[in-house]
Amino acid sequence: MSELGTDGRTTEVVTDRTSSDDEHHHVDTGLPPIAPVQMTKTALLSESVALTKDGDSKSPKHPVRKPTKMKRPKKVNNPRRNQTKGISQASALKLFQCSCQLLRTQALDYDVRAREMEDRNAKQAKDLDDWEQQIRSLKRELDEYPDEAVALEDEQLTSEASLPPAVAAAEAKLQEELRKRTLQLDEFCRTVPGFVESLDDQF
């Protein structure tokens, strides 16, 4: 029900449910009439908060599980990978130049060694030729020696009667020295049997 006020505004008048109209339709049950209760918004909010608190207290509390973290495999530090990452283009070029220089030096060293070996082989071949020439000369001396020895013995026999004793003693000493040297020459020839055999085949 609205009423017009003095300021020209309409105001609503809330009629109580316990009015005379309701009393005509009210059935008397022997109990006092129930008055309607108007609840404010703050009371409704406080009641809803209390209900939620009671619900939370009554509900069983389950332990909250934290999400498990997956263990990732640890990255293995690869020193070679780190080194390759750290090498710049200038460093790589310098390393390449050093490697080429080292290879050239080794090639020159091998060439020098090969030449030295060739020279050594040539020198050894020359030494072998000299030894063969010496052995050939010794072989000729050995072939000529028996004839000379026979002639010397004949001369010794004829001259011993006419020579004085001092000269004969000196001659005997020379013959002994010649015999010793002949033995030494024979021993030397035995130490190189290969060359002596080859010379025997040639002669």
Tell me, what's the pLDDT at 137?
Answer: 85
Q: What is the mean pLDDT of residues 104-113?
A: 89
Name the pLDDT band for 183 (thresholds 50, 70, 90): confident
Q: Are 1 and 12 in contact (CB under 8 A)?
A: yes
Name the pLDDT band for 185 (thresholds 50, 70, 90): confident
Distance between terminal CA atoms of the chain?
Answer: 167
Residue 131 Cα distances to 128, 151, 183, 193, 199, angstroms: 5, 30, 20, 13, 12
How do residues 4-55 score in pLDDT, each as one tens digit?
A: 555 555 555 555 555 444 444 555 556 666 655 555 556 566 666 555 555 5
Q: How far apart are CA 164 and CA 94, in angstroms?
A: 94
Q: How far apart are CA 18 and CA 36, in angstroms?
A: 9
Q: Residue 145: pLDDT above 60?
A: yes
Backbone angle region of 30, left / alpha / beta, with phi > 0 → left and psi within -120 to 50 → alpha: left
**Domain range summary for the chain, segments of one domain joined by +:** 87-202
Q: Which three-class secondary structure state does DSSP give residue 10?
A: strand
How do residues 52-78 score in pLDDT, each as one tens digit?
A: 555 544 445 555 566 666 666 666 566
Higher pLDDT, 90 or 63: 90
Residue 108 Cα distances to 55, 66, 77, 118, angstroms: 96, 72, 41, 15
Residues contacting residue 95 through CB under 8 Å, at least 6 positions apart: 87
Taking all residues of the chain, what is their mean pLDDT, rounded to a whole number?
69
pTM value is: 0.27
Tokens of 86: 């750290």
Enclosing H/E stretch for 2: strand 2-4
